[in-house]
A and B are shown apart, each in its own frame.
Chain A
Amino acid sequence: MTYSKRTDGRKFEELRPIEAKAGVIPRADGSAWFKMGNTAAYAAVYGPRSLYPKFMQNPKVGIIRVNYSMMPFSSAGERVRPGPNRRSKEISMVIEKALASVVNLEEFPNSVVDVFIALPQTDAGTRCAGICAASIALADAGIPMKDMIAALSVGRVADKLLVDLNYDEDSHEDGVDIPVAIVQRSGHVALLQMDGLLTREQLKTLLGMAQEGVKKIFEEQKKALKNKYKAIEEENGE
């Protein structure tokens, strides 16, 4: 079986169009909007703020708490029932681990940084879009970070290896989806999951493709953060 042409006409190593914006939710301490193709995510950051219940407080390090959700009308199929489910809990947890790896947690002992991720529209790659938005929002909130982080799905559809799968590709009967989060400077992998069948060589190739693909995302994240401050400067007439 061969997958000769992508359903949306992209090249196999080509990402979907990206839109990124920082500071979209004024009440939050930091926020962002990240859209990749037809998958769109908001991220809002609150904190560092006091952590309750008190027994969770650690005088040495703070924690990051992630809440990922799909809006009830976001899916191409039936309505998504609001509230946490097994899937959203697991995704929140893996995103939490990935984000915690780039944040200087020891700088806010006894405290929590809350990251809320919500998607108004989905077309595969939601956890990746969520991480990309959250990384911008954390920087926008001025949370001390070691590095930026971005995420991208890579995978296989039939005989082809490709990046940034859309829903049709993700749900292909002979498809493999691998969400990967990558730390900018080291290129190390902070989130890795996979569903499907692959060879060891294919995995290695795909992780390389992810490292290459996220470069484009890092550029867009940086641009979004710079644009916010450019807008503020213009407002102040500087």
Chain B
Amino acid sequence: MVNKMDRADILKSLNENLRIDGRKLLDTRKIEVEYSISKNAEGSARVKFGGTEVLAGVKLSVGTPYSDRPDEGSMMVEAELSPMSNPEFEAGPPDIQAVELARVVDRGIRESKAIDVKKLCIKEGEKCWLVCIDIVTINDEGNLIDASSLAALAALKNAVFPKLDGENVDYKSKTTKKIPLSKEPISVTVCKIGNHFIIDPLTAEEKIIDARLTIASTEGKLCSLQKGGDTPISIEDIDKMVEIGMKTADEIRKVLE
């Protein structure tokens, strides 16, 4: 029902400071985090933003450091917009929306320097840990970017190293050693519709936004930005959106405690 509303209906409601699901403009839906949802992953989490549900899992493996960074391990993020989660998603290789999602999540974590990649080095120039974070969407009712970012962070917080048995990883024996995480980067996507700013958009709202700005921030610092949508925005708008994004991030971070 909500998915079929058009721009005029949504705007009319926003003018009265109300969202189509009854929220205020800058309210998020109920956010829930559940840890260790897959026993076989080194770390995993389920995140719900209202009806939107995503899973994230961390697998660790041993690889060779990049030659220009011999004393660092590395991380990667991949995302699957599962055809289970939305009738518009198709099975097949990641499309541009999935690639953007994965890259925005990746940059939020990478640029915040939350993971101390030097501590992922096992032997300089020879061996290091590779942290793979995979995101799978289960039910898409809007705002996959923020839900996925939070799920990725929660899965990282939940992850422990497996035992290293000489050259090989012994996945059956997990240690108690956690991935070194120094910060908690949280992404918040602020959307502009007409003259209004909203956060945690529903699918119907995402379809009619003029612009969006995803702001990843740690405590008090910005770490990555991604503008989307077709309409350019003013510097004043950006400043306002960043303010909303950082304030909301501080609220969301409390869910992880």
| Contacts A72-B57, A72-B59, A82-B78; A42 near B138 (Cβ below 8 A) | yes
Q: Does B206 contact A (CB under 8 A)?
A: no
Decide if the interface of chain A is mainly helix, strand, loop or mixed: loop
Name the one of B41, B85, B93, B171 contacting A27, with C-beta atoms under 8 angstroms.
B85
**Contact mask A60-104 → B, CB, 8 Å, 1/0?**
000000010001111111110011000000000000000000000
Closest residue of B by beta carbon distance from A33: B138
CB distance from B139 to the nearest CB of A (A): 5
Chain A hits for B37, CB < 8 A:
120-121
Residues of A with C-beta under 8 A to B141: 26-27
Whether A75 contacts B40 by the Cβ 8 Å rule is yes
A119 nearest in chain B by CB position? B38
Q: Does A46 contact B (CB under 8 A)?
A: yes
| Set of chain B residues within 8 Å of A71, measured between Cβ atoms | 38, 55, 57, 80, 134, 136
Return chain A residues, CB-CB under 8 Å to B93: 83
Chain A residues with Cβ below 8 Å from B139 are 25-28
Contact A72 B83 (CB under 8 A): no
1/0 per residue A154-180: CB within 8 Å of B?
000000000000000000000000000
Beyond A27-B87, A72-B57, whether A116 also contacts B40 by CB under 8 A is: no
CB-based nearest A residue for B37: A120
Contacts of B91 in A (CB 8 A): 67, 116
Q: Cβ of B5 < 8 Å from any Cβ of A?
A: no
Residue of A nearest to B203 (CB): A27
Partner of B134, one of A38, A73, A114, A116: A73
Give the chain A neighbours of B94 by CB distance below 8 A: 82
Q: Residue-by-residue, is B78-114 near A (CB-CB < 8 Å gives 1, otherwise 0)?
A: 1010111111000101100000000000000000000
Measured CA separation A81–B65 after assembly (Å): 20
Q: Decide if A116 touches B84 in the complex (CB within 8 Å).
A: yes
Interface residues of B in 128-173 (CB under 8 A from A): 132, 134, 136, 138-141, 169, 171-172
14 contacts between A and B (CB under 8 A): A27-B140, A44-B85, A71-B136, A72-B80, A73-B38, A74-B38, A74-B40, A76-B171, A79-B61, A82-B94, A116-B82, A120-B37, A120-B136, A121-B39
